Structure 1
Amino acid sequence: MAITFDKALGIHEHALQARVQRAEVLANNLANADTPGFKARDIDFQAMMQQAQESVSGLSMNRTHHGHMDTSSPGANGELMYRTPHQPSIDGNTVDAQEEQSRFMRNAMDYQASFQFLSSKFSGLTKAIKGE
């Protein structure tokens, strides 16, 4: 019985990639906190994980005809979505620096947790290969 990395790691590889992508978007928001007219953006992490789960399990729905409705949710492919501000500024900037910092730190902690989980998976695979 062959073991593939896709089966061994599941969606955790996709989670790390999505966390990196989200960190870049949040960092860009923070960098543009004082730019007039800048609109805060984000990635729908849950939708990306749902799509990754469907692709790993092979249970995703496919469009077989161009007239059929698309079943994927907005943001599932990692496209950027604009965030609705709680209180937009006078200059049209929608970035709330405190909220962005909070989201960035939460994303960083989730990245660390995913990384540690993946590291333990690799450690287990290494032990299994060595026969320990």
Structure 2
Amino acid sequence: MNLFSTTFTSLENALQYASLRQKVISNNIANADTPNYKAQDVSFKNVLQDSVDSIKTYRTDPRHFDFSTDTAGASIVTEPNVTYNNNGNSVDVDTEMANLASNQIYYESLIELEKGKLSSLLNVVKGGQ
């Protein structure tokens, strides 16, 4: 028996993705002047696939889609043939700062969702008082 719904697991995975992406973006900004450094990003496709894999599905007809596939966790990807600066660096600081702000808003919204779910559970435990 699962004490909490799968929502908590999904929120936890999303928070881990946002945290990893924050680290990668910060690393890109820190290496903006490093010669031949290639900007990195976190592959969202793997995170989405992990969330889809956690959904319990039952095929009642052979024509239904099968959602069970094996994937690894979030992965960091690098575009090797992209260069924005003369020194071979592919970091665009303006883009990275925009990504950082967007990721921060995403992270904070996930925290608010988590707080709301925990508040609902607390309300149930207290008996609605």
- TM-score category by the smaller chain? 0.7 to 0.9
TM-score by length of 2: 0.80
1:21 aligns to 2:20 (yes or no): yes
The list of structure 1 runs, each at least 4 consecutive aligned residues, that deviate by more than 3 angstroms after superposition, is 56-59, 83-87
- Confirm whether residue 61 of structure 1 aligns to residue 57 of structure 2: no
The C-alpha deviation readout for 1:75-101, integer Å capped at 9, x for no partner, is x62221013677521111000000000
- Identify which range, 42-51 or 16-25, moves more after superposition: 42-51
* Structure 2 partner of 1:80: 76
2:63 is matched with: none
Answer yes or no: is 1:106 the counterpart of 2:105: no
Kept in 1, the 8 Å contact 2:38–2:90? The answer is yes
Contact 1:43 1:81 in 2 (8 A): yes
Q: Secondary structure at the match of 1:80?
A: strand
- The CA distance in 2 between the partners of 1:18 and 1:114, in whole Å, is 11
What's 2:86 paired with?
90
State the alpha-carbon separation in 1 of the partners of residues 86 and 23 from structure 2: 26
Q: CA deviation at 1:3?
A: 4.8
Q: List alignment gaps of at least 5 residues for structure 1.
A: 63-71
Q: For each residue in 1:17-53, what CA deviation from the matched residue of structure 2 results, as whole angstroms up to 9, or x when unmatched?
A: 1100110000000000010010000002243123123
Contact 2:46 2:75 in 1 (8 A): no
Helix, strand or coil for the counterpart of 1:42? strand
Aligned residues: 119
Kindly tell me: are residues 84 and 102 of structure 1, through their superposed partners in 2, closer, same or farther at Cα, counting changes over 3 Å?
farther
Identity rate, percent: 29
Task: Structure 2: state its 5+ residue gaps.
Answer: 58-66
Partners of 1:56 and 1:14 in 2: how far apart? Answer: 13
